[in-house]
């Protein structure tokens, strides 16, 4: 049995991960620690609050004393760090917030765990990262775990810095850090500021769908349940000091995704509005997931056409959640 601290567990991917892990049964206990900023919400984990193997604590990963108290109280042997500022547009406007949370917060959490785990040889720390740390790709090719880090916006740079900190802790202290890097996620509970939920919500309200530039930016869209299954594979079988790419082999342009959403809702493509591109907008991301597939026996199982329809249905059927998340402030 394992006691797992899920930092940032009230956010989009973290809350979906908690459902995945708890649904699997077994004796593992999960502690969700979240600062509850605008993107993390009790609405995302409310259905888990009465689960016998779940506990919640409002806490900031930048607060070493709070993290140390949680590690001690629950005898934590595994940390999964989802906690991060993640929206590129916000990172361009307020980069200091991103570097504070994503770098200082991650390092504080690592240092706290390192000091607590002196007698836990089987402990592990999973740092959840992003394909954006690699920079942009041309029209062909995919990033591997050996690709150089070339981040091109403040968000990506902050995540790359945290990745390097994790690897430095492993090499210097023998700290049991593992890094995962995924493509763009989509699915239920994703904050409305992100591309797919924003397109869905605009379409539902018959409002213009704002698409940056020509809309031909390519992303490898990964359903959140596939991502969560990959993280579980890493938690159970991953090796310390390793990096694992998690891709879906599902490249779509932003314009095609917007058109798919409109078609599913029976809305006209005339709702698409091309807007000025954002600074430093990377043209294409794609990941080679051969390592996690061959070593940890994980592969994506979700078909995009079916999963995007399910995602649209979820947002349509949860208007109360939509209203609460859309109008929340930091």
Which residue in the block uniquely carries the two structure tokens 């430093």?
A: 280
Average pLDDT of the segment spanning 237-261: 98
CA distances from residue 251 to 205, 254, 285, 289 in whole angstroms, order as listed: 27, 10, 8, 14
What 3-state DSSP class applies to 145? coil
Overall CATH class of domain 3-190+223-249+286-302: alpha beta
Domain range annotation of the chain: 3-190+223-249+286-302
**The two three-digit tokens of residue 177, written as one number:** 């850090």
**The two three-digit tokens of residue 309, written as one number:** 């329809």
Confidence band of 322 (pLDDT split at 50, 70, 90): confident
Determine phi and psi for 243, rounding to 5 degrees: -115, 135
Residue of 34, 60, 77, 132 marked catalytic: 132
At 92-149, the pLDDT tens digits run 999 999 999 999 999 999 999 999 998 899 999 999 999 999 999 999 999 999 999 9
What is the pTM (predicted TM-score) of this model?
0.96
Model pLDDT, residue 58: 98
DSSP character at residue 277: P
Q: Which residues make Cβ contacts (< 8 Å) with residue 207, sequence separation at least 6?
A: 271
Residue of 116, 134, 155, 244 marked catalytic: 155
Q: Which of 19-23, 24-28, 252-256 has the lowest mean pLDDT?
A: 24-28
- CA atoms within a 13 Å half-sphere pointing along the CA-CB vector of 266: 0
Q: How far is the C-alpha of 244 from the C-alpha of 12, rounded, in Å?
A: 20
At 50-88, the pLDDT tens digits run 999 999 999 999 999 999 999 999 999 999 999 999 888
Q: How far is the C-alpha of 289 from the C-alpha of 292, rounded, in Å?
A: 6
Start-to-end CA distance of the chain, whole Å, equals 36
Active site residue 189: no
What 3-state DSSP class applies to 207? coil
Residue of 34, 60, 77, 131 marked catalytic: 131
Model pLDDT, residue 325: 85
Active site residue 43: no
Active site residue 212: no
**The two three-digit tokens of residue 1, written as one number:** 């049995």
């Amino acid at each position: 049995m394992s006691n797992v601290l899920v930092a940032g567990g009230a956010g989009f991917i973290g809350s979906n991960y908690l459902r995945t892990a708890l649904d699997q049964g077994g004796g593992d206990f999960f502690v969700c620690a979240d600062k509850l900023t605008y993107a993390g919400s009790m609405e995302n984990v409310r259905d888990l609050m009465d689960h016998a193997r779940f506990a919640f604590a409002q806490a900031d990963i930048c607060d070493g004393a709070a993290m140390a108290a949680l590690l001690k109280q629950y005898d934590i042997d595994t940390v999964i760090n989802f906690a991060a500022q993640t929206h590129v547009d916000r990172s361009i406007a307020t980069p200091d917030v991103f570097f504070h949370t994503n770098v200082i917060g991650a390092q504080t959490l690592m240092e706290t765990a390192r000091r607590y785990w002196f007698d836990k040889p089987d402990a592990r720390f999973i740092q959840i990262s992003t394909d954006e740390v690699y920079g942009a790709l041309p029209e062909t090719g995919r990033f591997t775990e050996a690709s150089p880090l070339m981040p091109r916006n403040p968000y990506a740079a902050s995540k790359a810095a945290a990745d390097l900190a994790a690897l430095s802790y492993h090499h210097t202290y023998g700290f049991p850090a593992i890094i995962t890097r995924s493509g763009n996620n989509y699915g239920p509970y994703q904050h409305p500021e992100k591309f797919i939920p924003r397109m869905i919500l605009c379409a539902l309200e018959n409002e213009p769908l704002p698409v940056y530039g020509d809309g031909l930016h390519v992303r490898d869209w990964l359903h959140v349940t596939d991502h969560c299954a990959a993280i579980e594979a890493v938690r159970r079988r991953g090796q310390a000091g390793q990096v694992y790419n998690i891709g879906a082999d599902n490249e779509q342009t932003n314009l095609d995704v917007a058109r798919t959403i409109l078609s599913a809702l029976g809305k006209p493509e005339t709702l698409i509005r091309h807007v000025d591109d954002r600074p430093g907008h990377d043209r294409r991301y794609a990941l080679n997931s051969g390592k996690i597939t061959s070593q940890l026996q994980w592969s994506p199982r979700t078909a995009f056409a079916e999963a995007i329809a399910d995602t649209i249905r979820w947002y349509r059927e949860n208007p109360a959640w939509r209203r609460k998340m859309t109008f929340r402030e930091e």
